[in-house]
Amino acid sequence: MVKYIIYLFVAALLTFAFKSRITALSYNDYKDTLGALLNISSIIFAIIGAWIAIVYPRAMARIINKQSSAQGNQSENKESHKDANYLSELVEIVMVSAIVLMAVLLIQFFAPILKGLISNPYLPYVKYMNFSCVSFLTIAQFTAIFRVILVNYFFLNELRKKNVNDRIDELHR
């Protein structure tokens, strides 16, 4: 939660830093960024959702069968803990992408409607808010992509470590 407050703070700092330029921006200037956010969020949402369902069938089976983690041996519990850590990372990435998707859809839906309703004295403040919102969504989605890379990297390291340990065990037999 703290990291999202930091992202919001960074978006506010960007808004303050580009304050004079933001008032010249229009909705058309954000269309490409919103389209990219929509596409990237959709892809991340779909891929990570599929990864959760395919790569972690044991964890999914435990949830479906309502087996308690107390059942089973110690190595199963250790494996379950690792699965839970990976799953929590992946689920958070999926949630960020879903929230970005919903926010972008809301922005694209309401922007044309609200365009004529906002009076001139409030227009700069609305533009600041829009820039902050798009900045926040971009930062959140960017970090979600980066976290996908990290999760894959650490997953690959764990797999390689397991393969090396299995090979060593095989040689000792």
Is a pLDDT exceeding 80 seen at residue 44?
Answer: yes
The terminus-to-terminus CA distance of the chain in angstroms comes to 48
Question: What would the mean pLDDT of 50-74 be, rounded to a whole number?
Answer: 66
Range in 28-32, 66-70, 136-140 the model is least confident about: 66-70
Which pLDDT tens digit goes with each residue over 121-169?
888 899 999 999 999 999 999 999 999 899 888 888 888 888 888 888 8
Is a pLDDT exceeding 50 seen at residue 100?
Answer: yes
Alpha carbons 51 and 59: distance in angstroms, whole number: 12
Pull the structure tokens for residue 55: 């790569």
Which pLDDT tens digit goes with each residue over 69-88?
445 556 555 666 666 777 88
Please work out, in degrees rounded to the nearest 5, the angle formed at the alpha carbon of residue 124 by the alpha carbons of 16 and 122: 135
In this structure, is the dihedral angle defined by the CA atoms of residues 87, 155, 158 and 53, taken in order, positive or negative?
A: positive
CA 11 to mean position of chain CA atoms: 17
Percentage of the chain beyond pLDDT 90 is 48
Domain that holds residue 61: 2-172
Q: Using H for helix, E for strand and C for coil, what is the string for 147-170? A: HHHHHHHHHHHHHHHHHHHHHHHH
Average pLDDT, whole number, for the chain? Answer: 86
Identify which has the larger pLDDT, 97 or 1: 97
Split into its structural domains, the chain has a count of 1
